[in-house]
Amino acid sequence: MSHDAPARPMSSRRGGPLKGTAQVPGDKSISHRALILGALSVGETRITGLLEGQDVLDTAKAMAAFGAQVERVCDGEWSVHGVGVGGFAEPEGVIDCGNSGTGVRLIMGAMATTPITATFTGDASLSKRPMARITDPLSQFGAQIIARDGGRLPVTITGATDPVPLRYKTPVASAQIKSAVLLAGLNAPGETVVIEAEATRDHSERMLRGFGAQIATETTPEGRVITLRGCPELIAQPVAVPRDPSSAAFPVAAALIVPGSEIRVPGVSRNPTRDGLYVTLIEMGADIVFENEREEGGEPVADLVVRHSTLKGVEVPPERAASMIDEFPILSVIAAFAEGPTVMNGVAELRVKESDRIDAMARGLEANGVRVEETRDSMTVHGATTVPGGAVATTHLDHRIAMSFLILGLATQKPVSIDDGGPITTSFPDFVPLMRKLGGELNDD
């Protein structure tokens, strides 16, 4: 998203049941990694099903700035000719990662053990997010780093000339921290080890293995221990990106809360490290059938059939949080229509996403007549059979907050408005036409 794009006020209102097939976009996490690993490989990586959302387009641009040849072949199909591990060139300009935490953090990792200098910036949302969680381990590899006070962007990194491998225990459950350390470890001799107490999404491990790196994962009493052997030659690979379960969550939620709905969402990743929302919805009594379970591009996928359901509130255990970290905003919308409270525990990380997602959801839900309680690391939503709606939610440059409130308005008594739907293009550029095709009444105001 351009930094000064005008706001796009939008609203949604109750209509008939939702019907049809929702072809959701490619997985955002895998799309970033496909471009970055393609850029660090020797040969041509052909990517199909790439998410062409702004976050990923910013990563594609960054990979070109570091010297890879990156071309869009046709819709969702991209070609990357990489420069090999350690082959990044010094970029001429500043690397602007826009709204994307994944983009900036993984790219900082990928360049931090190559002796070049790069400066990273982002939009107003990304500039508020913590970067010390990445720059701390990267400096232990030997990188020189200057960040704004409090470890925020802009950040300038001069990569290590003689990188030393690292053994690093992640202080919070974060696939971005794990992945930044592993990507930095690629150009360090010896073994880089990451230990994570809670399992986070494992796309980096799966894809590094697919590109030819030696990487092993063990489950120990300390947690998951991931060991990467440095200085591999990564070999370019075809990557077929599965559809994003975090994007699928929005039409799925709409079908669950709009009476009479039945939709199909084909080819969605069911990677167990991303599956927490779906586990929770089944516990709540959701009518979701997983058909045609199969493997595509190294990831388990299934076709989802989702019908309107009578739901009950549940307690989501803290150890499940990492496997559904981006789905709490939309879960809190679904929970508003369930019988009884839904308690979400261990969710403090939501406070440092594109916005403080606990605060943004609590304020917007309350304004629309839903009772919410919050602590620093939990949120409880009290469900009801009817939800009034009728208010404007503030989205704080956060795509998931914007989409969540547009879904809310499809089932409330009165329409729900958002101040800005612009950020939706970061992860789900076709969200509005896709929801309209299913029968959802979404409007530009």
Ligand X SMILES: C=C(OP(=O)(O)O)C(=O)O
Cite the active site residues: 326
The beta strand positions in 221-323, using DSSP E, are: 223-229, 239-240, 262-269, 287-296, 299-307, 315-316
Six token digits for residue 189: 């001799």
Question: Is residue 417 annotated as involved in ligand binding?
Answer: no
Give the binding range for ligand S3P (CB under 6 A) out of 13-21, 72-80, 173-181, 264-272: 173-181
Q: Is 274 in the site for ligand X (CB under 6 A)?
A: no
Say if residues 85 and 40 touch (Cβ distance below 8 Å). Answer: yes
Q: Is 319 in the site for ligand S3P (CB under 6 A)?
A: no
Helix (H, G, I), strand (E, B) or coil at 370: coil
Torsion, CA 44, CA 45, CA 50, CA 55, rounded to 10: -80
Q: Is 170 in the site for ligand S3P (CB under 6 A)?
A: no
CA distances from 258 to 326, 355, 401 (A): 22, 27, 19
Six token digits for residue 231: 């200085």
Taking the complex as a whole, the smallest distance from the CB of residue 171 to ligand S3P amounts, in Å, to 12
Taking the complex as a whole, the smallest distance from the CB of residue 372 to ligand X amounts, in Å, to 20
Residue 368 binding target from ligand X, ligand S3P, none, CB below 5 to 8 Å by type: none
Task: List helix spans (H) across 322-380.
Answer: 328-335, 357-367
Of the candidate residues 113, 179, 309, 355, the single one contacting ligand S3P (CB under 6 A):
179
Give the binding range for ligand X (CB under 6 A) out of 95-103, 177-185, 195-203, 312-320: 95-103
How many chain residues are in contact with ligand S3P, going by CB under 6 A? 11
Q: Is 353 in the site for ligand X (CB under 6 A)?
A: yes
Site track for ligand S3P across 200-239, x = CB under 6 A: -x--------------------------------------
Q: Is 83 in the site for ligand S3P (CB under 6 A)?
A: no
The b/e string for 405-430 (b: 16+ C-beta within 10 A; e otherwise) is bbbbbbbbebbbbbbbbbbbbbbbbb
The smaller minimum CB distance to ligand S3P, of residues 50 and 411, is found at 50
Binding site for phosphoenolpyruvate, residues?
28, 101, 129, 176, 357, 400
Binding site, residues?
28-29, 33, 101, 129, 174, 176, 326, 353, 357, 400
